[in-house]
Each structure stands twice: as structure tokens, then as C-alpha cells.
Structure 1
Amino acid sequence: MGIVILAIMVVGVAVILSGKVPTAFVLVALAVGIGFAAGAPLFGEDGSVLETVMQDGATRLAATMIAILIGSWLGSLMRDTAIAKTLVRKTVEFAGDRPVVVALGMLLVAALVGTVTGSAPAALLAGVIGIPAMVAVGVPKVTAAGTILMGIAVGVPFELPIWQFFSSALDLTIAEVRSFLIMLFPFALVAAVAFVLIETRRRGTVHAWSLAMPAEPGTGEPSRRERLGDAPWYALFTPLVPIVLALGFEVPIIPSLLGGVLYAVLTTTRPRDMGTTMLRSLYDGFTVAAPPITLFVAIGMLLEAVNLPGAVGALTPVVEVLAPSEPWLYVLVFSLLVPLCLFRGPMNIYGLGAGIAGALTAVGIYPTMAVLGLMASYNQVLGVSDPTSTQTVWAAQYSGVSPQQVMLRTLPYVWVVAVGGVITSAVLYL
């Protein structure tokens, strides 16, 4: 039966790679198929497909979904209150016309934004002004796009929704998740700085911004955001507020994010406008958060399916044979398999990789913290170099290059980050 479950997963990978069916739909189908292959009945209160896999699975990552929503809300607030725009503008003004300094400044801004929200919203907040500014002073277009993405990856170890996701998915405490993700930060930072220092010196710089800025819908008049002045200097600390609350005072994830929302509003908005501003940005946050929330519903179902007793029993002998057992072999194999997280591949943590992580945890081949280390390390690659991820596509297209160009330029750097994470995981947990 374990071979049947693996065959179902292989079919799922093929369908996801085809790009013809949304990933979330494929994951739900996989969850149901694995449930039946594991011998789960259709009906019943415990261990059934409808009750355990679909009902319980749909809400398994509920805390993560709420964290994603609030993080998106905070990102929308940073846009609407000109916090993100001011961060970028002040950085450019400080850096002047020095390409390396401008790029390093944009890297810092992207890292700050990446702690609040990931994916395309983070790329847009940092990149709408940051990418033209870098290209205007001579940074190559591919490097400009990659700088924004590498910067976001530097902030990911401190992104609170990511902490919540790994905590819920792998049944770990926030403190356990946080302890490893923070260890990824030095790897991500060194790789990002190296990317900027090396890639800004490549040939082919362009000293003008020749791409059209995306226009706001309307009559051509300045948008509300464009009419806003700079945010107050003290409002620029908004991205740090949730981190300080969660890391320094051990406030739970969701209240920490709400603290950031409250701080952003109080420091930028008149009292009479606070309600309107918060409501409008919340609606925008729902729009941004809807796709990842849908995906997390499906991932929860898949996690429940691979944790069914029948699935664990069937997969145990197969995983014991296939999974590298020695620490050095663990490092070698999983370092070589890093590209499998790209192109929606089987190690994509927001796809079938979540099921593989759940299976490894359920079978008990590796300690749960080792599985966290593996998947968190792969996540650093996925968010930067995957040509199918929304942030990579947006940053590349906005810069006037292809996502594949960005992948080829950034992959060597983030691959090193992943290898560093895998080695750290092996040393600490195996």
C-alpha cells in the first residue's frame, strides 16, 4: 500500500508540474486519494476521509491562515499610509547615485518588508520604487529584481506567519520553530550581501529607467498614495514592532501582528480617519491573503491524510528504505535535491513538500526538528528562485527580464543558504 501512496504522490507532482490544475485542487485530490489508499472509510468520526482528512484538515492550519491575513493587512497599511514608500525613498536619498549602496539599501528595505508579509505583496512594496531607483543608477535589471527577492528572503526567518505555519504543520512550538529559523538568518544575510556586491559589478548596467511605471486605475490623476507625503520617521519602525513583541516579549504571533497594525495606524493616521483606513486596508488584505489561505486549507487536508494510521503504517517501510539515514548522507542527498523545490516540484513546502514533511514526521525516520530544518532551508530557495512563484514573476516582469533569468542568477546564492541550513540541521538534530 505504501507504493500505491507514493504512486498517487507522483501523479500529483506530474499534474502540478503541468500547470493545468491549480495546486490547491491537486492537493485536495491527493489528500482524498491517500486517505482511501490508507484504508480510511468515507464516513465516521475518527479516521475517516470526510471527518478527519477534509473537516479537521481544513482547519488544521487555521492559526496560520489568520496570521497570513493580518500580515497582509499590515502590508496593505504600510502601502496606504506611505510607510513602505517612505522607507524606499529615504534609502535612495541617503545612498545617492552609488549603485552598490543603493542596492544594499534596497536589500535592507526588502528585508524589513519581508518580515511583515511575503510573496508578491512584499516584492511590490519594496520594488515599485526600489527597482526603478536601482536601474536608474546603473544596477543591472536582473540584479535589481534579484536584490528585492534576496532581501525578502533575509526577512523570511523573522516572518511571523512562517513561524506559525511550521508550528502548526509540524506540531512544534513557536519557540522551537523560531530557534531554527533565526539560525538561517546569517546564511541568508551573507548570501544576499554577496549577491549585491558581486552582481552589481557585472557588465550590462543600464543608467535609465526605461520601463513604464504601472498606472493606478482612474482618470490619470495622482492616486491617493501618490498624494500622500512621507510617513513620520517613527512610523518607519512598523515592520520591527511585531518582531520585537514576538521575539523580545514572547507575545503570541497574532497579537504581535495586530500590534504592528495598531502602531502603523496610530503613527500615520488622524483619529477621525483611522476607522476608514483600517477597514479599507483590511479589505485589501483579504484580497491579497485569499490565494495562500486557499492553499493552506488544502495543505492541512494533505497533512491529515499522511498522518492517518494506515498511511503511516504503509509508508514506514518505504521511507526507511529511501530516506538517507547517516547524517553525512542526509546532508549530501538533500543538498543535491534542492532544485526539486522549484517549478512546484515535490519538495515545494507549499505543495507536495508539505505532505512529504508530514510523512517524514509521522513515520519518525528523522526528529521533527530535522524535518523543520530541511523544509525551512528549502523555503529560502523557493521564495527567491522559483520562476513560478508570484514574487519572482512580478519582480522579473517589472524589471523587464524573465523569471528564468532571475532564477539562474540567484540560484547559486540561495542554494548555498539551503546547504548551510541542511548542514546545521544535521549537526544539531541527527
Structure 2
Amino acid sequence: MVNVVIGIIMLLSFFGMIYYCVKGYNLMVGFFVISVFWVILALIGNAISPSEAMKDQSVINVLTNVFQTGPENYGKSILVNVFFGAFFGRVLMDTGIASTLIRKVTELGGDKPHITMSLLCIVTTVIFTSMTGIGPVISIAVIVLPIMLSLGIAAPIALFAFMGSIMAGIFSNIVNFKQYQAMFATVKEEYASYSFNTYFNFSIIASIVALVVVLIVANVCLGKSKTSRAWAAAAPGSACTDNAPAISWISVILPVLLVVLFNCPIILAFIVSALYALLTCGKLKGGFVEICRMLAKQFADGAVDVAPMVGFLLTLSMFNNAANYAAPYFKTLFGGVIPTSALLLCVVFAILTPLGFFRGPMNLVGCGTAILAVVAATANWPIMFLYPLFAVTTVAPQHLDITQSWVAWGFGYTKVNPKDYMKMSIPTGWIIGAILCATVYFMYGGLVH
């Protein structure tokens, strides 16, 4: 009875956290508060009826695991990748490689809105398999969006197509992979062995499916919309206007190639790719001291690009560990209704994909960690099956969501009404989720016993 009561209280606070996220309040503070609340409830519950999750642990051990070990492990396994990924993104911007690729596809598409929009989306997807953070997104957006708008593409469609193409790239983004992998590692230690190379086969399919669906929706909406040419196609004055040499363009996907083809460590892959980009663009000139100053500035600028998400990620790690102590109480409420067959679990995830929007219960970078802990406890799910499933309900909704920082920035930049954007984003996220959940089942459902 005690477990049921505590489980209900946790569930109510869980929905309260979802409401908090939807309202757009500070996520760092929100996740810290709910972590504290869940730990207190779990400690009270353990004092009344001992919990398996707290077996042989003192109060100090529990508090240390949530508020110290969690952020430490997250910093060790995730933040270093985030910072070096952001450094590489800053190099792509400063060398002009990213802007050159965008200008080239614009020239190729000419004044044909459907073709140019599609080509810009393809390039954006490729770029964001490596780049990350709101800084790089804005730097690319202020080039891509004016071009789309100048071609008469309605602002809601242009914003949706751009954000959707980023989402497609994130499915194959190494930094995001490591971020989600760390969440799985907090649930079961053996999940930590899951590698990007193993995930890569699914990630490429997911990126292609997501991009195709986004382009179909955007082009259908474009065909029905009225033409508007209120914007000029000029890129901002701060953007690099010199074309980067063609030999440097491979830098965009070089980190992924190094990791997948040569098992190169992720951080080293970013460093090698950045140095290759700088070398082929003629930026490693001016003497040793000047080069060192440039590299330090690019790393610092990259750190600034991702700074807003660092505090959030650290408090999210607290929530991840707190969710492990909360899992027994959620299992008491829902353990009997969570499917134990691969087919049924994929069907449930496909149906519930929209709950990944607004940082909801299907979103790992939101409230989904608690659901992950419960699902992982119901059966011996292989990580090759479970990780892609949660990646689908996290990546597709989150990166089309109005709570995503760069989507919120896009509303202000393009003056788009969020409701006009959501008419496209939510159905698209659901369609992508349904297709990819089916893909997960056909690729990995046979591994479930």
C-alpha cells in the first residue's frame, strides 16, 4: 500500500514536471527540484518498506549517488564530447565550410523553391550529423532561412523544413548518441558497452526516413501555400563570404567516418577533423602562437555555444539517478501493463510517440528516464533493441518541439506563430516515430527472448 501511495504521488509530480516543461520554465531548476522531491519520497518509502533499489545503501550513499556521482559521471562521459563537438562546429563556421556548402546547393537549385528547399534540407541534415548546440544552429539558420523566404516559401514551412532537417541529422549525431547512451548506463551497467558503430546502421536509416518525411510534408504544404517574398536572400554581414575549397567539404562528415570506419575515439575524431578543416582552408598560418590563440578562441566560442545546455545536462543526470530509486514505485503502478514482447512494445512506442513532445514521458531529455528505468526492469531487453526505440521517441519529437531552444529562437526570428508550426511538426514527428518503431522491430525484434 505504501508503494502505491508513493507511486501515485510521484506520478502526480511527474505530470507536474511535464506541465512545467510545456510552460517553458527553466529546465535546470525544474529537474533539480523534482530530483530532490523523488529522493525524499524514495527515502521515506524505504524507511517504511525497504526498497530493492536502496538495498545496502545509507542515506548518504543515496544522496551522493544522485547529487554527486550522477553529475560527475555525466561530466566524464558526456560533457567532454559536447565541448569538443561544439569546438568542431565552430571550426566549420569560422572556416566557411558550412556556409560554402549552403551557397553551392542554392546555386544548384536556382529559383525553384521545391528543389532549393530540398537541397538545403539535405545539406543541413549532413552538417548536423556532427555539429551541435544553439550557436551553430543559429549560424546556419541565418543563412538558410533568408534564402528560403526570399524564394517565396512561407515562413512556417521554411522554419519547419529547416528544424526538421536538423532533427534528421541528430539521429546520426555522435554527441547526442553519447548523451543518450549515458542515460542507459545509469539504468544498467551492461548498457554502457553499446557503441556508436553498432547503432550506426539504424541511425542512417532513421536519418534518411526522417528527412524524407520532412521533405514530403514541407513540399506538400509548399504546394498549397501562397507565395510571399518579403525577405531578401542576403546572408548576414558577419557570415564568411569566401568559398572554402572543395577538398575541405568532407570535414562535415569526417568525424562520423573516422568513428565508424576506423573505430577512432570520438574526441580524437573531432580534433583530427577540425585540424583537417583548418589545414585545407589555409587557416593554420601566422606562426605557432597565433595558431594557438585561434584554436583557444574557437574552443572557447564553442563552449559558449553549448553553455546553456551544460547546467541542464548536469541536473538531468541527477534526475536520471533519482529515477532509478523511483522506478520500483512506478513499477508497482505500471509493471503489470508494460508489454514484455518486442512487437507490443514497439506498437506502444509508436502510438505514444507524441508524448515525446514538450519534454514528455517518452523523451529521454525530459521525463523519459523514469519510463526507461521501469521498462528496463520489466524484461531483459537487449540494448540493441531498446536504445533505438527510445532514440526514436526522443529525437523526432524533441528536435521538432517548441520547447527546443533553437526552435523557440526561430519563432522570434521568422515571426512564425507556434500553432502554424505545430500543425506540421507534431503530425510529422508522429509519422516518423511510427515508421521507425516498425523499423526497430524488423531490425532488432528477433533479439528479444
- Name the TM-score, length of structure 2 as normaliser: 0.84
Report the more deviating stretch, 57-66 or 191-200. 191-200
What residue number does 2:160 align with?
146
Secondary structure at 1:388 match in 2 = coil
Tell me which of 339, 356, 377 is aligned to 1:324.
Answer: 339
Partner of 1:28: 32
> Can you list the C-alpha shifts for 1:44-63, whole angstroms capped at 9, x where unaligned?
77972321111111123222
Alignment of 1:21-60 (within 5 A): 21-39=25-43, 48-60=61-73
| Structure 2 match to 1:218 | none
Q: How does 1:129-208 map to 2 (within 5 A)?
A: 129-171=143-185, 172=191, 173-174=194-195, 175-208=197-230
Q: Which residue of 2 aligns with 1:239?
A: 252
**Cα distance, 1:193–1:75 mapped onto 2, change above 3 Å:** same
Is the CA contact (8 Å cut-off) linking 2:135 and 2:306 kept in structure 1?
no
C-alpha contact (below 8 Å) 1:123/1:395 kept by paired residues:
no
User: 1:69-94 deviations in whole A, cap 9, x for unaligned?
Assistant: 11111222222222222121121112
| Aligned: 1:421 with 2:436 | yes
Contact 1:295 1:350 in 2 (8 A): no
Cα distance between partner residues in 2 of 1:211 and 1:387? 26
Q: How far apart are residue 236 of structure 1 and its match?
A: 2.0
Q: CA deviation at 1:159?
A: 0.5
Counterpart AA for 1:287: V
> In the alignment, what sits opposite 1:219?
none
- CA gap 1:255/1:363 in 2 versus in 1, 3 angstroms: farther
Deviation at 1:234, TM superposition (A): 1.8
**Range 4-13 or range 255-264, more displaced:** 4-13
Q: Residues 331 and 393 (structure 1 numbering): CA distance in 2 closer, same or farther, change over 3 Å?
A: same
CA contact (8 A) 2:354 2:429 kept: no
Deviation of the 1:21 alpha carbon: 4.5
Q: Give the Cα–Cα distance (whole angstroms) in 2 for the partners of residues 148 and 28 of structure 1.
A: 32
Does the 8 A contact of 1:195 with 1:410 survive in 2?
A: no
Cα distance per residue 1:303-344 (max 9 Å; x no partner): 222334xx4544433332232344454344322322222223
Counterparts of 1:7-406 in structure 2, within 5 Å, are: 7-18=9-20, 19=23, 21-39=25-43, 48-62=61-75, 63-118=77-132, 120-171=134-185, 172=191, 173-174=194-195, 175-209=197-231, 223=238, 225-226=239-240, 229-268=242-281, 269-272=283-286, 273-308=290-325, 311-364=326-379, 366-406=381-421
Instruction: Tell me, in whole angstroms, the C-alpha distance in 2 between the residues paired with 1:142 and 1:415.
Output: 19
Q: The residue matched to 1:158 in structure 2 has which SS? A: coil
Change (3 A) 1:368 1:322: farther
Change (3 A) 1:130 1:312: closer
Post-superposition shift, 1:122? 4.3
How far residue 64 of structure 1 moved from its aligned partner, in angstroms, is 1.6
Amino acid at match of 1:135: L
- Tell me the C-alpha RMSD between the 2 structures: 2.8
| Letter matched to residue 402 of structure 2 | P
Tell me which moved more, 420-429 or 60-69: 420-429
> Counterparts of 2:176 and 2:320 in 1: how far apart (Å)?
17
CA contact (8 A) 1:82 1:230 kept: yes
**How much does 1:179 deviate?**
4.2
Alpha-carbon distance between aligned partners in 2 of 1:395 and 1:347, rounded to the nearest angstrom: 24
Whether the 8 Å contact between 1:241 and 1:260 is mirrored in structure 2 is yes
Q: 2: distance between equivalents of 1:419 and 1:410?
A: 14
Cα distance, 1:45–1:297 mapped onto 2, change above 3 Å: farther
Q: Distance in 2 between matches of 1:281 and 1:3?
A: 52
| Residue matched to 1:408 | 423
Closer/same/farther in 2, CA of residues 21 and 123 from structure 1, 3 Å limit: closer
**Secondary structure in 2 aligned to 1:204?**
coil
Query: Offset at 1:418?
Result: 0.7
Deviations 1:235-285, CA, capped at 9 Å, x for gaps = 222211101101111212222222222222222214224323222221111
Q: Indicate how the Cα distance of structure 1 residues 239 and 363 shifts in structure 2: closer, same or farther if over 3 A, else same.
A: same
Name stretches of at least 5 consecutive residues in structure 2 with no aligned partner. Answer: 48-53, 186-190
Alignment CA distance shift 1:322-1:364 (3 Å): same
Q: Which amino acid aligns with 1:22?
A: N
What is the CA–CA distance in structure 1 between the aligned matches of 2:98 and 2:381, rounded to whole Å? 41
How far off is 1:348 after superposition?
2.5
Kept in 2, the 8 Å contact 1:341–1:378? The answer is yes
Kindly state the Cα deviation for residue 379 of structure 1 after the two structures are TM-superposed. 2.3
